[in-house]
């Protein structure tokens, strides 16, 4: 991708900061907009950070008048499923309504490509696995529905205003920068791998495993873990595709490999040489037994190829990051 200026909304967050890192490695100019409600300024390895709420239309108007962006990456969102059930308004406002404001600003100022951070949660309970992009969407919580509504808005703005976009449906983002400069630091933390590693270090209580009676080989849930650097590379390729005249679309991002909760625990034990304090508790409502991606479309159309698909490598990078936080 030739040198240009890009806007990264939510670029101080876990995945956004790794995308910023990838753009900087290509010598791109990067402007990051993040209100730092969840992101960390320390996660930004370069570029210009503007601390502001992106749903402020007057702010966006000024930003788009001041800069000519080759493309926009949009990561900013609320992501805790359980919170979305208890406080749906927060999720529809932050994820759906705020993105509508961004789309209207793009419509009025610059017809530039948008790469949107979506989620496999739009699928809901899987009817089959691995899940491809033709799988019906039936989000079962406000978080998933707030993202699905944005996908529908993107399609409508593409039809009405020729807004080019790609929505990337992530499965389970994991891992960290291989040099341990940046990594996962959510609060509250809900992702399995950091919870496993922080149980080892004593930073968090013993791990609770929700259910051991699923219809899987070891009775625990199976998920598709994708390295955060592989996610970042997919975003760069998606933007390159749009800039070069490619069609708008939706793509799954995952490794196509299913690992159970017990697989993750045993791999973490092998990587760290330490046991994982843990206990088994009742299932959580709405947890599917298996969620595994079919990401062949991204490989075929975008030329994407994950580099860090092995679970032990993902956990090694996450463990190096955890140790660097002490």
* pLDDT score of 286: 73
* pLDDT score of 236: 98
Residue with tokens 């017809």: 111
CATH assignment at residue 288: 3.90.25.10
Give the chain's domain count: 2
Which positions ≥6 away from 221 have C-beta within 8 Å?
A: 210, 211, 214, 260, 261, 287, 288, 289, 290, 291
Are residues 261 and 247 part of one domain?
A: no
Q: How far apart are CA 264 and CA 278, in angstroms?
A: 13
Does residue 259 carry a catalytic annotation?
A: no
Q: Is residue 137 part of a domain?
A: yes
Are residues 248 and 263 part of one domain?
A: no
By residue range, what is the domain housing residue 277? 192-222+257-295+308-324
Are residues 101 and 58 part of one domain?
A: yes
Are residues 232 and 285 part of one domain?
A: no
DSSP assigned state of 236: H
**Contact assessment for residue 308 and residue 218, using Cβ atoms and an 8 Å cutoff:** no
Counting as low any pLDDT under 50, the low residues of the chain are none
Are residues 231 and 103 part of one domain?
A: yes
* pLDDT score of 226: 97
- Tens digit of pLDDT for each residue in 85-123? 899 999 999 999 999 999 999 999 978 999 999 999 999
Whole-model pTM?
0.96
Are residues 168 and 117 part of one domain?
A: yes
Q: How far apart are CA 142 and CA 246, in angstroms?
A: 31
Are residues 22 and 152 part of one domain?
A: yes
* pLDDT score of 288: 83
Q: Is residue 182 part of a domain?
A: no
Residue with tokens 């990587």: 271
CATH assignment at residue 150: 3.40.50.720
Catalytic-labelled residue, pool 91, 92, 123, 143: 143
Closest CA to 8 of 20, 22, 24: 20
Q: Which residues face 8 on adjacent strands?
A: 32, 73
């Amino acid at each position: 991708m030739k040198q240009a200026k890009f806007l990264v909304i939510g670029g101080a967050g876990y995945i956004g900061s790794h995308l910023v890192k990838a753009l900087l490695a290509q010598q791109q100019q990067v402007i990051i907009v993040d209100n730092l409600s969840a992101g960390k300024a320390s996660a930004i390895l370069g570029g210009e950070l503007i601390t502001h709420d992106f749903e402020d239309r007057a702010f966006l108007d000024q930003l788009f008048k001041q800069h000519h962006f080759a493309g926009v990456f949009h990561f900013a969102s609320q992501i805790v499923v359980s919170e979305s059930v208890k406080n749906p308004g927060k999720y529809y406002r932050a994820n759906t309504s705020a993105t509508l404001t961004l789309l209207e600003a793009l419509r009025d100022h610059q017809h530039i490509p948008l790469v949107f951070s979506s989620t496999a949660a739009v699928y809901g309970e899987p009817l089959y696995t691995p899940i491809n992009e033709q799988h019906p969407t039936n989000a079962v919580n406000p978080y998933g529905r707030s993202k699905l509504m944005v996908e529908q808005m993107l399609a409508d703005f593409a039809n009405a205003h020729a807004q080019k976009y790609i929505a990337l449906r992530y499965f389970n983002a994991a891992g960290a920068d291989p040099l341990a400069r940046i990594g996962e630091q959510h609060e509250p933390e809900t992702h399995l791998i950091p919870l496993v590693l922080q149980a080892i270090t004593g930073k968090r209580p013993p791990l609770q495993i929700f259910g051991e009676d699923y219809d899987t080989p070891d009775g625990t849930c199976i998920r598709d873990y994708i390295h955060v650097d592989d996610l970042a590379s997919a975003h760069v390729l998606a933007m390159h595709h749009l800039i070069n005249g490619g069609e708008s679309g939706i793509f799954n991002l995952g490794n196509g490999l299913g690992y159970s909760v017990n697989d993750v625990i045993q791999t973490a034990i092998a990587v760290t040489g330490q046991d994982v304090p843990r206990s088994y508790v009742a299932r959580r409502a709405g947890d599917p037994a298996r969620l595994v991606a079919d990401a062949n479309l991204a490989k075929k159309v975008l030329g994407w190829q994950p580099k860090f698909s092995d679970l032990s490598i993902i956990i090694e990078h996450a463990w190096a990051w955890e140790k660097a936080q002490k």
